[in-house]
Amino acid sequence: MEEYKEILLTSDEIKTDDYLVNMGPQHPSTHGVLRLLVKLEGEKVLNVQPHIGYIHSGIEKMTESLSYIQIPHLTDRMDYLAAHMNNEAVSLCVEKGLQVEVPERAKYIRTIFDELQRLASHQLWWCAFGMDMGALTTFFYGLRDREDILDIFEETCGARLTLNYSVPGGVMFDIHPNFQRDVKAFIKKFRQKLPEYERLLTGNVIFQERTKGVGILSKEDAIAYGVTGPSARASGFSCDIRKKQPYSAYPYVKFKEILGTDGDTFTRYHLRILEMYESMNIIEQLIDNIPEGDYAVKMKGVTKLPEGEYYQRVETGRGEFGVYIISDGKKNPYRMKFRSPGFSNLFAINNIAKGWKIADLVAIMGTFDLVIPDIDR
Amino acid sequence: MRSIIKYFGEIFGGFFSLLTGMKVTARYFFTPWKNVTQEYPENRATLKMPDRFRGEVVMPHDENNEHRCTGCGLCELACPNGSIEIITKSVISEDGKKKRAIDQHIYHLGMCTLCNLCIRACPSSAIKMDQTFEHAVWNRAELTKVLNKPGSKLMEGVKE
Amino acid sequence: MAFNIYDFTPLTKSIHDSLSASLNPTATLAVEWLIVGVAYLLFVALFGLFLVYAERKVCAAFQQRLGPMRVGPWGLLQTIADFIKLLMKELITPKRADKFLYNLAPFIVIIATFMAISVIPFAPGLASFDFDIGVFFVTAVSSVSVIGVLLAGWSSNNKYSLIGAMRSGAQIVSYELSVGLALITMIIFAGTMQISGIIEGQRDLWFIFRGHVPAVIAFLVFVIAGTAETNRGPFDLAEAESELTAGFHTEYSGIKFAFFFLAEYINLFIVAAMATIVFLGGWMPLHFGQFEAFNGVMDLIPGLIWFFLKVFAVIFLMMWFKWTFPRLRVDHILNLEWKYLLPINLMNIILMTLVVLLGLHF
Ligand code: SF4
Ligand code: SF4
- Which residues of B fall within a CB distance of 8 Å from A203? 17, 20-21
B157 touches chain A (CB under 8 A): no
Which residues form the pocket of ligand 2, taking CB atoms under 6 Å from any ligand atom? B 69-75, 86, 121-122, 124, 126-127
Question: Given a contact as 3+ CB pairs under 8 Å, which chains touch B?
Answer: A, C
Considering only the beta carbons, identify the residue of A29, A136, A141 that sits closest to C243: A29
Closest C-alpha residue for ligand 1 atom 7:
B79
Query: What is the extent of the structural domain holding A227?
Result: 17-376
Cα–Cα distance measured from residue C149 to residue C250, given in angstroms and rounded to the nearest whole number? 12
Residue B102 has φ and ψ, to the nearest 5°, of -75, 135
Q: How far is the CA of B132 from the centre of ligand 2 (A)?
A: 21
Task: Return the closest-CA partner of residue C56 out of C85, C81, C76, C41.
Answer: C76
The pLDDT of A74-93, averaged and rounded, is 88
> In Å, what is the CA distance from A285 to each residue of A167, A184, A216, A252?
24, 11, 35, 9
Q: pTM of the full predicted structure?
A: 0.86
Give the single-character DSSP code of B114. -
Stretch (H or E) spanning A231: helix A230-233
Which pairs from A271-274 meet CB under 8 Å and 24+ separation?
Answer: A271/A230, A271/A233, A271/A234, A272/A122, A272/A125, A272/A126, A272/A230, A272/A369, A273/A122, A273/A126, A273/A194, A273/A197, A273/A198, A273/A202
Average pLDDT over residues C191-197: 79
The CATH number of residue A76's host domain is 1.10.645.10
Smallest CA–CA distance, residue C107 to chain B, in Å, is 36
The answer to which of A195-204, C165-174, C196-205 has the lowest mean pLDDT is C196-205
d(CA A170, CA A180) in angstroms, rounded, equals 18
Domain count, chain A: 1
- CA of B140 relative to ligand 1 center, distance in Å: 18
Nearest residue CA, atom 3 of ligand 2? B122
Bridge pairing between strands B66-67 and A170-171 = unpaired
Q: How many B-C residue pairs are in contact by the CB < 8 A criterion? A: 36
Cβ separation A137–C329 shorter than 8 A = no
List, for residues C62-76, the tens digit of each pLDDT value.
888 888 888 878 888
CB A365 within 8 A of CB A30: yes
Beta bridge partners of A311: A324
- Whether C278 contacts C135, CB under 8 Å: yes
Pairing verdict, β B98-108 and B144-146: antiparallel
Inter-chain contact A206–C233, Cβ cutoff 8 Å?
no
Instruction: Please indicate, yes or no, if residue A10 is contained in any of the structural domains.
Output: no
Chain C partners (3+ C-beta pairs within 8 A)? A, B
Tell me chain A's radius of gyration from C-alpha atoms: 21
DSSP per residue, A166-193 = EETTEESSPPPTTHHHHHHHHHHHHHHH
Give how far A147 is from chain B: nearest CA, Å.
10
| Residue among A136, A139, A359 minimizing CB distance to C329 | A359
Beta bridge partners of A39: A20, A47
Q: What is the pLDDT of residues C144-181, one digit of tens each?
A: 888 888 888 888 888 888 888 888 888 888 888 888 88
Q: How far is the CA of A155 from the centre of ligand 1 (A)?
A: 19
Query: Would you state the pLDDT for residue C168?
Result: 83
Q: Which residues of A touch B50 (CB under 8 A)?
A: 151, 154-155, 158, 176
pLDDT tens digit sequence for A4-14: 555 554 555 55
**Spatial separation of the C-alpha atoms in residues C104 and C145, rounded to whole Å:** 12
- Smallest CA–CA separation between C337 and chain B, in Å? 13
* Pairing of β B66-67 and β B153-154: parallel
Which of A40, A144, A359 minimises the CB distance to C64?
A144
ipTM of the complex: 0.84
Q: Which residue of A has its CA nearest to C65?
A: A140
pLDDT tier for residue C1 given thresholds of 50, 70 and 90: very low
Is residue A143 in a domain? yes
Decide: B86 in ligand 1 pocket, CB within 6 A.
no
List per-residue pLDDT tens for chain B, 160 residues long: 788 888 888 888 878 888 888 888 888 888 877 778 888 888 888 888 888 888 888 888 888 888 888 888 888 888 988 889 888 888 777 777 777 888 888 999 888 988 888 888 888 888 888 888 888 899 988 889 888 888 777 777 776 5
Can you give the pLDDT at residue A196? Answer: 86
Give the pLDDT confidence score for residue A1 in this predicted structure.
46
Which residue CA neighbors atom 6 of ligand 2 most closely?
Answer: B69
- CB contact under 8 Å between B26 and C340, yes or no, is no
Instruction: Specify whether the CB–CB gap between C247 and C161 falls below 8 A.
Output: yes
Give the position, in ligand 2's atom list, of the atom nearest the Cα of B121. 3
Q: State how far residue C316 is from chain A, nearest Cα, in angstroms.
A: 15
A158 in contact with chain B, both atoms CB, cutoff 8 A: yes
Task: State in Å: Cα A251 to ligand 2 middle.
Answer: 41
Report if residue A6 sits inside a domain: no
